Chain A
Amino acid sequence: MTRWAMVIDTGRCIGCGACSIACKTENATPGDVWYAPVIEEEVGDYPDAHMDYLPVLCNHCEDAPCIKACPTRALDRRDDGIVLADDDACIGSRACMNACPYGALHLFEGRTGEALGGGARTAATVPDAGAAARYTPGTVQKCTFCAHRIDHGLEHGLVPGLDIAATPACVVTCPAECRIFGDLEDGESTVSRYLRERGPATVLRPDAETGAHVFYVDGSAR
């Protein structure tokens, strides 16, 4: 069974925000919706101060609280572990937004057409996929792990995490290669090897016990 996961090496992140922009471009998210923001933290005091950067996104949790909270089953997890939101089933109760410990769900309050690129998921690598899919006002939106890229890549014999066209946009865009993507169940995948060689890994908000599939390592600590 495939379990897509991401490792983020915070020791490599330079805080450029290219992942955030790549995500926005790939998914054409509405103006105030960021699936993959980079959180900044000022650490230390002058003159020994520096900025820490923490790229975040939906953690595609094994025990996703957003799925449990949703009254309409608009949120669901695929067999490969990717948690997706269904515009057509969402009623905009926002229960998922308060249930998610990562702030990874966003209500699209605007009107159709307000989103970047005319409100369409542009799906850069899948030219025909975006045209019909428009964000529905009043519904919740979230990171898809670029499922359209993964699915399109798999259909064409590509390997997500290794082949650019089959890998999430934030991963392939990162100039510092701080994001690693792959199948957690495959012991030889990029994520499995990275976790084995560069661990230990942490997850965000472990107290929430969500079974997050986004792991963080700090390569600079070694």
Chain B
Amino acid sequence: MSRHLGPQNVFMDRFVLEPKVQRVWDIPHAVWFTLMGVGGGLFVLARALELESDVGTWLGLPFVELLSFAAIAVGGGILIADLGRPLRFLRALVNPGTSWISRGAIADVVFVVVGGLLVLPDLELGGSRPFDWLPWTAAATNGLGRLLELVALAAAVVVMFYAGQVLAEPRAIPYWHSPLIPAQFLLSSAATATALLLFLQAVNDVVIPAGHCWLLAGFLALLLVLMAVHLRIDADHPGKAESIERLTSGRYRTPFLGGVVLVGTILPLILALVGVAWADARDVVSVLAVLCTVPAGYGLRLLTLRVGIFPPVRTMVPVR
């Protein structure tokens, strides 16, 4: 039900049958979703590409993984601050059976704790390593280290994925109710994390392999395809039609088509392909790719939230 702009009379508001835009989640949630995706993506890709120790350290710890933990912690902090009752946030861990927020919150905690434990042996304080007695290595070269790494990686993947699934699970908002939403968020996270890794390699004078540019191009190309498919599927469904209209011809046309799609996805895709073909350009490509993909990742999530529309509640299908 939606409330009209003004009250009908002094006693009660007026409710009109029309599509209703969700206004429950906005900027804080888009920031939260973005930081979770990028944070998880940085850890997963740095480990997958075995880059964690090559792109800088701080106090002996891999800078990229510290960045990952910080992104998750800040993202979680923003979510907690936005809760109606922030001091009760630990209760969010109690319903993983059905709630993706609960599953994600658990994954956040597991990721930061287990990931933090994993890298702890490399911590350097005053020229010594006070935790090098721990029976595993940060590089996960023994069994226990590999187990911790596996748990941290699994949690990081859930962290990347769950924000989209929070939106996709319920059927209330048709634009959100699609596996293509978490898939888009996942690919956007992977693309942004890859761009950041390219940038960190460039900053640390590490030669960027062509394969990493291919990886960025691949993530962006897939993201582009999924966005296009999502805009085409069920495009006339009540609720989703209004969402698509807002994105493609309404108030969000320029930020979505011009910002997220063109500057945030197609341009870095072309740049990544330039990087594949021209090794000397890869440092510049990495900088531009970060400048394109980070705002686009945030924009994709914010616009996805802002075009979440409930269709009118009335239908006339006999059920009983």
A interface residue numbers (CB < 8 A to B)? 17, 20-21, 24, 32, 34, 37-41, 52, 54, 56, 65, 67-74, 89-95, 97-103, 107, 109, 136-140, 195, 199-210, 215
Given contacts A32-B13, A71-B101, A91-B89, 16 further A-B contacts (CB under 8 A): A21-B11, A34-B15, A54-B17, A54-B313, A69-B101, A71-B94, A72-B94, A92-B83, A93-B92, A94-B24, A98-B22, A101-B313, A102-B1, A195-B320, A202-B317, A209-B171
How distant is the Cα of A53 from the Cα of B125 in the complex, in angstroms?
71
Q: Which residues from A are CB-within-8-Å of B88?
A: 72, 89-91
Count how many pairs of residues, one from A and one from B, have CB atoms less than 8 Å apart in the complex. Answer: 169
How distant is the Cα of A133 from the Cα of B86 in the complex, in angstroms?
21
How distant is the Cα of A62 from the Cα of B169 in the complex, in angstroms?
17
The answer to whether A69 touches B20 (Cβ under 8 A) is no
In the assembled complex, the CB of A63 is this many whole angstroms from the nearest CB of chain B, namely: 10
B141 contacts chain A at the CB level, 8 A cutoff: no
Q: Which residues from B are CB-within-8-Å of A209?
A: 171
The answer to whether B313 touches A98 (Cβ under 8 A) is no
B interface residue numbers (CB < 8 A to A)? 1-2, 11-17, 20, 22, 24-25, 83-86, 88-89, 91-95, 98-102, 105, 166-167, 169-174, 308, 310-311, 313-320
Q: Which residues from A are CB-within-8-Å of B13?
A: 32, 34, 37
Closest 6 CB pairs of A and B: A92-B84, A138-B84, A200-B318, A99-B170, A71-B102, A101-B172
Q: Which residues from B are CB-within-8-Å of A203?
A: 319
The answer to whether B318 touches A102 (Cβ under 8 A) is no
Q: Which residues from B are CB-within-8-Å of A39?
A: 1, 15-17, 313-314
- Identify the closest chain A residue to B88 (Cβ): A91
In the assembled complex, the CB of A30 is this many whole angstroms from the nearest CB of chain B, namely: 13
Looking at the complex, which one of B16, B85, B95, B169 makes contact with A139 (CB distance below 8 Å)? B85
Q: Which residues from B are CB-within-8-Å of A91?
A: 83-86, 88-89, 91-92
The answer to whether B98 touches A67 (Cβ under 8 A) is yes
Also in contact, A206 and B172, with CB within 8 A (given A71-B92, A72-B95, A103-B1): no
Q: Which residues from A are CB-within-8-Å of B314?
A: 39, 41, 54, 204
How distant is the Cα of A140 from the Cα of B179 in the complex, in angstroms?
28
How distant is the Cα of A65 from the Cα of B101 in the complex, in angstroms?
13
The answer to whether A73 touches B94 (Cβ under 8 A) is yes
In the assembled complex, the CB of B75 is this many whole angstroms from the nearest CB of chain A, namely: 14
How distant is the Cα of A24 from the Cα of B11 in the complex, in angstroms?
11
Q: Which residues from B are CB-within-8-Å of A52?
A: 17
Q: Which residues from B are CB-within-8-Å of A138?
A: 83-85
